[in-house]
Each structure stands twice: as structure tokens, then as C-alpha cells.
């Protein structure tokens, strides 16, 4: 039975699915979001926080493009901190503890009140495809083998669509492991999706198994917090969203606590390591390198005498505490023993056991830069199904895939964010080009141009793209243009105003422990001094205009780091030259003589759209790129002459 015909179908109601569904509906396309549980939309099965190092950048970029994650955490946070404040602005990152229940409830309400968006609780058992005729131009030009037609639910209803976005998270054929105990469920005992994988495999989509894990949840009443170091939030709180008024979100914050494992903890783990499903060979999937279980830490870092453990609240109306840093798949009896060796947890009561979870996800090399599966027109995917980890990475991909699915339907240019424009660009490029053999996690070190990709300027970098996609209003876009002008005007003003070595200026320099002036300098040059800033030179700046804090922040960063920023911009120019060297879609890499066999095979698999992307493919080295460039030059010359 044909139940409905829509523009976009989103499969999954996690963080990727929420952003994908909202973006499609806000662009104006009729959208259905299918979820296994309406009550668990935007659920946080693992850590109860949003943001963090590099992840805070992603949330800011999601907001700049018109996404919802930043706005939602601003409304539902328990504690907020700016990480890495002692370091440079490139790696400053917001991180907020979330009220898990309130975050989910708030996001659910946003989705249910969104025009053009229908929420439906149902399991999708099958994706319905159409084969292309070999005479179709799309088949010939794009390498498609099939195109999507719709989906079928477990109850037998069919829903047709022009695009489908897979946001299945960790639910495909998932199983949870706690020692010898195996439960065939999704995270936190939720219903898994056991049928969709077979439909994808039948269509030629290659899947593999990944794993992740989560720590135990403790009864807060059983914890002795006096033995731990208290961790306070920041005052005032800086919002994630550029649209949130900071004054509206200031409130009394919850505390977190820091404690440590010790040699007794490690001894218990080592003595029982054979009972861990990771080391007993029960777990098939590959886990995240940068978020290891506590047993992984003990085995791989035997010289470390202790590991950090953060105790974090899960919500306003629960005593459950999250034990960050001690995820595990050890049996329950071992978990009790090891947790009770940690200072403050000697009498802890476990409310929910730690566990590992395995699930099906996409093998590398099957995604186009739009996050469309190459072989199948109209089938996009996002989040942990793409082999990534983390709520923020999922939400960023969901938004990106949602926009591009809509652009395909509307016949408009796809959105493109390259590595020099955003962390989202780095994330997508890494997922598309690299052979990720473990769950991918965003880190600031992955971004080559991170001084340009700061979280404070995400709106300046990406809001125009959100406006062009239809997710940012005319009013907000005009506000951005005004902000850019105010920043430029103020920088020019500060560079134009000179101060000399007068007695009052020299007195100012002495009071601020700054070397005295020998010649006249501009106010901008004074700001460049490490001991001075925009605020401190106010008494030398008689005609200072009234500016908002965010504009002052941009002015100060741009002036203080101008030399470094200019150098990085020159690096981006070189990068762009490689990105602009397009590779013809009909290229035959077998004709590119002197390419190594590994490089040829990987280029055929990934099908890069430009030389820059080709250079980042695993197994393709600089010598291969040189060979490819020579070939493309001859190819272009021959085609031009022809």
C-alpha cells in the first residue's frame, strides 16, 4: 500500500536525523522523519554534553548554517565552559553539560512544530530502488547504478520520496556487550533495526562493523564528592548560537568533579582482561582510537599510574552521574570492583552498567563529496552510519546531507565547504577521501587552517552559505554584512590613529608593564603587544565607537594575529589552486602511465573530483599526484585542440 509520497525521507531521529529533517523542511520540501522511538529523538546514549575541543567548532558552524544544535543546548545546559582559554583562539572550544532529558524533549518539540515535517515512529525494513536504463544520461555521466524510489516499513506500508537520508546511528543490527552477556538491542536497551542492512547490501552497498562504548551511570547519592576536585562552570556563560542573547541564558550552574583511577583499579582490570569481550575476541567491530575504554587505556598505556575520571550530572531531575573516562565492556562484577577503587566511588551504586555496542556502518570510499552514496541517486547518509563518532559530527553531517539532498531535488548547486572554510569541510573531506578503519573523531589537529577556522568567526565564514541554501533569513544575513563592515571599519580606524611618546602615554605604558615608546605607533600596534589589548588601551582612544563584544573580539584577534592569519591565507591560496584543478568524470586511470597500482586502485574507488582531493586519498603519494598533473595537462591540451 502506498501511504504517502514526499520529497525527502530521513531514517533516524538522532542528532544527524534531526538536523537533516529540519533543514529539508525549512528549505520548503515535504519531509518525513522515521524513528524507532519518538520519545528518544535527539537522545544522548553516551556522554551528556555538547561541544568540546573541535566539536564546539562544529556546533558553531552548524548554527552559522542555520542548524538547531547550538540553540537547543543553550536552552538546556547544566554547565558551560570555554576549553583551552590559556592557549590561542584557534583552539578555544565551548563545551556544555546537557540536561539529557530536557535536550531531547526540547528538540522533539522543535521537530514536531516544524512546518513541512512529519515525525513517524516506525522501523524501515527496506529501501525501494529503481534501476537506470543504460541510455539514461545520469547513468552514463555520474556512474549511478540505481536510484531511490522510496521505503517500506515493517508493517508493509510504502512511502515514496525523491531523496532518502540514512541517519541510522548505532542501531543497524546492533548488539550490546557487558562481559559474557550479549543483548541484541540498540543503545541503552532501545529497539535495534535488524532488517535495513540486508536491503542495503542487496543494493550493492558495502557495510562493516564498528564498535563504541559507554561508561556506567552512578547513583549520585552513593558518591563521596568530598574526595574529588570540584569543577565549576564559567561565568558569564558564552552561548553556542550566534542568535542567542547571552543575558537570556545566565543561570545557576551544576558542578562536575574530577577524580582518578589508581594502580588498584588497573590491577583489577589486568587480572580480568580475559573476561573483556574486546580481548576475548567476542567483539568483531573496531573501536574508536581517541575514545578508548578503560581496559584499552590500561593495556595500551601500562606506564600511566592513573587516568582522569570526570563525574558529570545527567540532568536536573535525576541523580544519575556519568563516569566520563571509564567506558568499559567488562562484566558487571568486575565493573563494581574497579569503579569502587576510585576515590569517591568506594561505595558507589551502579544504576546502569557500562557496555560496548557493535553496529553496521558504511565502508569507506562509497560517498561523494555531497554525502550521497555514489552508486545510488538520491540516497544520502550522515552520522555514525558514515563511520564517524560523536553527536556533533553526526549533526554536522545531517545538516550537510539534508541541504544537498534538497539542492539535488530543486536542481540547484550543491553546498560545498572545503577544508579552508570550515571544520565541517574537514570532516566531510576526511570521511569521503580517507580509508577510515575506526570511528572517525574530529580534532583540531585535523584542520590545517585552524587559525582561520576559529569558533568565534563561524558566522563570518559560513552564514552566507546558509543564506544561499535557504536556512538563514534576509534579516540575519544583512546583520552579518553590517558586522563585517563594523569589524573592517574599526580595524582601519585603529591602524590610522597614532600616539606619540608624550608623558601621559609613557605613564600608561609604565603602568601596564609595557616598554616605553621611542617613536609614534598606531593603536593597532599597541594592541599587538602581548600585555595590552583592546580594552586596556581605551584611555588612549578618545573617539572609540560603541561596539558589541563579538565585534571587539574579532577586531582584537584579527589585529593581534594578523601576521599569522595572512600567512595562513597565502597557504589557502596554494590549496585552492589544487582544489580548482578539476578531474574529468570520465577519466580512465589505467591510461595514466607510471601511477602505482595502489594509487590507481584507490583513485578508481574514490573518484576524486579535483587534484586536491586526490592528494588526500589514502595510498596516493606526492609522486602519484605529479604523474596525474602531467596527464591532466596533456588531457586538457588534447581536448582543447580537438
| pLDDT of 634 strictly over 90 | no
pLDDT at 140: 64
Tens digits of per-residue pLDDT, 245-255?
999 999 999 99
Question: What is the pLDDT averaged over residues 372-393?
Answer: 97
**Is residue 288 within 8 Å of 212, Cβ to Cβ?**
yes
The domain defined by 2-213+359-469 folds into FAD/NAD(P)-binding domain (3.50.50)
| pLDDT of 639 strictly over 90 | no
Average pLDDT, whole number, for the chain?
A: 94
Which range, of 136-150, 192-206, 341-355, 418-432, averages the lowest pLDDT? 136-150
DSSP line for 143-204: ---EEEEEEEETTS-EEE-SEEEE--TT-BT-EEEETTEEE-SSGGGPPPB-SHHHHHHHTT
Q: How far apart are CA 324 and CA 322, in angstroms?
A: 6
Neighbours of 488 (CB within 10 A): 13
Question: What is the pLDDT averaged over residues 543-557?
Answer: 95
Tens digits of per-residue pLDDT, 208-226?
999 999 999 999 999 999 9
Categorize the per-residue pLDDT at 642 as very low, low, confident or very high, splitting at 50, 70 and 90: very low
| pLDDT of 458 strictly over 50 | yes
Strand partners, 2: 158
| pLDDT of 619 strictly over 80 | yes
DSSP line for 95-111: EEEE-HHHHHHHHHHHH
C-alpha cell at 516: 616605553
Domain 217-357 indexed as CATH 3.20.20.210: no
Q: How far apart are CA 295 and CA 354, in angstroms?
A: 12
pLDDT at 290: 66
| pLDDT of 495 strictly over 60 | yes
Q: How far apart are CA 614 and CA 592, in angstroms?
A: 14
The domain defined by 581-641 folds into DNA polymerase; domain 1 (1.10.150)
pLDDT at 277: 87
Q: How far apart are CA 237 and CA 6, in angstroms?
A: 41
**Where does residue 390 fall: left (phi above 0), alpha (psi -120 to 50 degrees), or beta otherwise?**
left
Q: How far apart are CA 287 and CA 440, in angstroms?
A: 10
Same fold, 217-357 and 486-569: no
Categorize the per-residue pLDDT at 640 as very low, low, confident or very high, splitting at 50, 70 and 90: low
pLDDT at 641: 52
Contacts of 404 by beta carbon, 8 Å cutoff, 6+ apart: 370, 371, 372, 380, 414, 415
Exposure b/e, 561-578, CB count within 10 A at least 16 = b:
beeebeebeeebeebeeb
Helices 549-560/474-496 angle, 10° precision: 50
Span 486-569: which CATH code? 1.10.10.1800
Question: What is the pLDDT averaged over residues 269-292?
Answer: 82
Whose grid coordinates read 564517524? 388
pLDDT at 333: 97
Q: How far apart are CA 307 and CA 309, in angstroms?
A: 7
pLDDT at 58: 98
* Cis before 133 (ω within 30): no
Q: Per-domain residue ranges for the chain?
A: 2-213+359-469, 217-357, 486-569, 581-641
**Is residue 31 within 8 Å of 21, Cβ to Cβ?**
yes
Amino acid at each position: 500500500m502506498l501511504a504517502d509520497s514526499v520529497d525527502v525521507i530521513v531514517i533516524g531521529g538522532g542528532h544527524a536525523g534531526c538536523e537533516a529533517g529540519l533543514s529539508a523542511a525549512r528549505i520548503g520540501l515535504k519531509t518525513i522523519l522515521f524513528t524507532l522511538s519518538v520519545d528518544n529523538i535527539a537522545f544522548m546514549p553516551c556522554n551528556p554534553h555538547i561541544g568540546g575541543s573541535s566539536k564546539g567548532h562544529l556546533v558553531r558552524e552548524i548554527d552559522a548554517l542555520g542548524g538547531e544544535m547550538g540553540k537547543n543546548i543553550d536552552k538546556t545546559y547544566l554547565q558551560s565552559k570555554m576549553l583551552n582559554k590559556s592557549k590561542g583562539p584557534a583552539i578555544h572550544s565551548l563545551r556544555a553539560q546537557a540536561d539529557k532529558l530536557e535536550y531531547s524533549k526540547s528538540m522533539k518539540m522543535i521537530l514536531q512544530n516544524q512546518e513541512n515535517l512529519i515525525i513517524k515512529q516506525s522501523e524501515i525494513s527496506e529501501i525501494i530502488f529503481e534501476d537506470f536504463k543504460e541510455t539514461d544520461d545520469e547513468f552514463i555521466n555520474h556512474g549511478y547504478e540505481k536510484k531511490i524510489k522510496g521505503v517500506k516499513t515493517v508493517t508493509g506500508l510504502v512511502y515514496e520520496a525523491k531523496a532518502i537520508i540514512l541517519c541510522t546511528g548505532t542501531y543497524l543490527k546492533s548488539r550490546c556487550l557487558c562481559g559474557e552477556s550479549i543483548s541484541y538491542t540498540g543503545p541503552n536497551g532501545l529497539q535495534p533495526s535488524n532488517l535495513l542492512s540486508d536491503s542495503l547490501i542487496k543494493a550493492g552497498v558495502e557495510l562493516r562493523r564498528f564498535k563504541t562504548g559507554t561508561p556506567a551511570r552512578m547513583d549520585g547519592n552513593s558518591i563521596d564528592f568530598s574526595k574529588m576536585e570540584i569543577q565549576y562552570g564559567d561565568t558569564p556563560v558564552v552561548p553556542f548560537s550566534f542568535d542567542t542573547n547571552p543575558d537570556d541564558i545566565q543561570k545557576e550552574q551544576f558542578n562536575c568533579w574530577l577524580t582518578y583511577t589508581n594502580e588498584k583499579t588497573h590491577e583489577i582490570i589486568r587480572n580480568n582482561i580475559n573476561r573483556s569481550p574486546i580481548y576475548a575476541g567476542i567483539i568483531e567491530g573496531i573501536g574508536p582510537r581517541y575514545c578508548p575504554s578503560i581496559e584499552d587505556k590500561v593495556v595500551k598505556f601500562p606506564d600511566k599510574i592513573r587516568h582522569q575520571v570526570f563525574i558529570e550530572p545527567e540532568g536536573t531531575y535525576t541523580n544519575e552521574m556519568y563516569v566520563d573516562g571509564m567506558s568499559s565492556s567488562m562484566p558487571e562484577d568486575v565493573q563494581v570492583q574497579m569503579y569502587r577503587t576510585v576515590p569517591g566511588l568506594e561505595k558507589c551504586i551502579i544504576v546502569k552498567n557500562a557496555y560496548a555496542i557493535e553496529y553496521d556502518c558504511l565502508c569507506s570510499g562509497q560517498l561523494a563529496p555531497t554525502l550521497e552514496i555514489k552508486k545510488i541517486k538520491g540516497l544520502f547518509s550522515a552520522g555514525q552510519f558514515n563511520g564517524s563518532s560523536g553527536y556533533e559530527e553526526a549533526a554536522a553531517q545531517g545538516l550537510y546531507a539534508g541541504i544537498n539532498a534538497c539542492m539535488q531535488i530543486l536542481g540547484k548547486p550543491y553546498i560545498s565547504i572545503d577544508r579552508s572554510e570550515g571544520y565541517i569541510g574537514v570532516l566531510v573531506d576526511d570521511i569521503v577521501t580517507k580509508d577510515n578503519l575506526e570511528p572517525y573523531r574530529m580534532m583540531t589537529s585535523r584542520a590545517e587552517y585552524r587559525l582561520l577556522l576559529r569558533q568565534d568567526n563561524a558566522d563570518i565564514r559560513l552564514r552566507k552559505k546558509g543564506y544561499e541554501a535557504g536556512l538563514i533569513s534576509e534579516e540575519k544575513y544583512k546583520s552579518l554584512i553590517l558586522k563585517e563592515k563594523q569589524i573592517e571599519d574599526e580595524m582601519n580606524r585603529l591602524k590610522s590613529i597614532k600616539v606619540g611618546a608624550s608623558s601621559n602615554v609613557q605613564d600608561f605604558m609604565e603602568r601596564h608593564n609595557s616598554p616605553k615608546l621611542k617613536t609614534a605607533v598606531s593603536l593597532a600596534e599597541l594592541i599587538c603587544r602581548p600585555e595590552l589589548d583592546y580594552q586596556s588601551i581605551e584611555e588612549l582612544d578618545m573617539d572609540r565607537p560603541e561596539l558589541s563584544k563579538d565585534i571587539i573580539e574579532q577586531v582584537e584577534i584579527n589585529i593581534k594575529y594578523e601576521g599569522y592569519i595572512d600567512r595562513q591565507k597565502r597557504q589557502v591560496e596554494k590549496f585552492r589552486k589544487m582544489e580548482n584543478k578539476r578531474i574529468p568524470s570520465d577519466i580512465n586511470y589505467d591510461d595514466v602511465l607510471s601511477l602505482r597500482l595502489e594509487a590507481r586502485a584507490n583513485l578508481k574507488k574514490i573518484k576524486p573530483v579535483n587534484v586536491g582531493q586526490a592528494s588526500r586519498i589514502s595510498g596516493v603519494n606526492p609522486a602519484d599526484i605529479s604523474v596525474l598533473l602531467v596527464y591532466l595537462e596533456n588531457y586538457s591540451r588534447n581536448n582543447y585542440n580537438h
